[in-house]
Structure 1
């Protein structure tokens, strides 16, 4: 900055630096725009996401309710209608002369010993109290349903002793009406206590956590802007290692671009973790642990037992039991006819397109990008053994990078609030593992590929039975990967 710069220029320069710093912070927190917006002026939450609106119990600004609570209200209405229909059918069956005389006898001549119209009144009582409490007042407590169920059960118990079944010709429908009324009352209690209240509480907590998290990130962005305006210089960069030369190359290959690092390669790693939120820091920690464990297994030579294969050109599979994971970890080793960096780029950045060439995968997509080298991914593995093993889904935290000239793409299973277990899939579990690529000492155009598979398919199938088929799965993957690499050579050769 020139010492002859006037005050107006100094203010303009500081403003530009502040805008640039804020832009950099918002780039790091790329998911901020897709999260709930936060009003920093008054500190209040602006808008909830569509999913959050659906799952929370009550939104004052819109007056809507969650689907699970709406289903409960519909079930209460169904209770009243079903009880009324059963009572009408019962009344017609016991009519001596005409239907209307039977209705008159049930209503005008009502007694607890001879009429079942009181079951309809019990259903109407439940309907009134439950919709008043949980639809109109939007209560989040069980005391209303506890009261209606207690009154219903107490009255029905007394009626079972007082009702004269013989005078009604032991009509089977009289038993059905009483039993149905009892069952519906307890079904409503179960649905509210085990579905409505827990689900809404869980999602309210998640929404509150999300808003708190976004507020912290917004405060960091504001602080970074204030720091620059006060003359402090903050720098940001990607926390994980990327391959040599990635700053200058940026070449496009197969539809993706090698990510560029920020301008401050010398910035300390602790400054980055202080910018990342606690949730992102935990994901980065898991990813780095997976990478460390993969490298440790790479250096482990003893204890591996041969499963299948006799040469590296066609692939060799070994396994070793690890007490820590209570299962075998499989190691695939093979020689690939392509340099390690190009294979690594395909595996690290082309994962979402892998179902196109790997039929063992139905879907593969990124749920959230943590930084340039870390993401949360969701995979669906296709069914196997003719449908005996149903499709499995996995949620993993992935990371990739280069260490000492060795290319790594590692992952491990994680918990992600926005992708809970799905009803139509069995949620599998992946332990730390991944693929390691390095050039052959005598031929840098070829690679030595090593894949450590640490997976549990869960479900009813014993792990021992799963392990018997994993060797074949690894060799199938190697075949599909080789075909994909051949396609890449043809595309880039043309």
Structure 2
């Protein structure tokens, strides 16, 4: 009998544990842009989330309401001022002449309307036309309004006012509306738009999206579940995936201290690059361009982008080791790849993200001159593959150099997957999506890219063989 009761209790406890849901993110609750919580994967799509979305690049609904509120501020303040003028019982033209043309700070309240007009022009300029995503402008406008209204209270001749109640209401209304604008922008507009942007990253309408969401979901503040089991707890060389060194990168190009906003911008860009590269990898439009033994290069033409390339090769090394070699040992890239003159790690964003700088040698027998590239790189473990996404970016330590033409890497990736026939070997894929900039004939460009990809994998195989001979592999 006791055993049956115990079993029933255990069943009840288990069923209750299954029914417990993780708390969802209530984005209808006000959050400051400076205290946005990490995006959780289990929230629901609400009207607030949709209000922050920019459909087809248009202004979001919540920002449009803010612009309407600023317009209401001007119109309501102007209407209150007209009521105050008319209640004096004077001819409208005479009243306007005294209030505007013979303005006196002690007797006229037209300056309150001018303050509302200034707020209207400045706020719509920065938040509607320029589409600024920072609270500094509205904070300045609110602060200056408060200073002006406080001074107005001391300077205005209240004892001789004929309608002091309405005039006091005009000043108080202007004060409240200016603070309402600051609150609404900082606690509603900016947080909702930020949530909407991050939601779009984690819910891209792609046939492969469910496979990548385990990695992207929660960026830029969370990582994949597999990361915790990936790193070795043993001591390892600095700069290796087995022992991440978060210290400063000491090299020719110094890192900078990044603000929180800069870090999140880099991580957001990395997430988008990962999604785009993943989608390109699994497109069905790839066509075989050239084969060399077991290795092959496929191409695909993308509208508004041009031709992109995909290399597939088989390497005698584990995917994990290759990830370590290509991502964490980027400084040694020029030592085994003659197509690279210099390779530097410039800035470490986190364990999975960094910014690197490469200078490529001349290509196509000197027809294609040397280029340099600034790359944002990010790796993740997706669908039993290690994926390194790469996209061009900018960095303050790496301005354009007159000596080289600055190339641009669009979203591309390196993919390392375990060979199903041999766990010590891997299938290596490289999606190359590059704009070399400068005028280069299409045929020469395509031939150069195909040659570069085959040469790359040839030198990589030679490098792996040397590592094995030296006992490092």
TM range (shorter): 0.3 to 0.5
**Which protein is bigger by CA-based radius of gyration?**
1
Q: Scaled by the length of structure 1, what TM-score is found?
A: 0.46
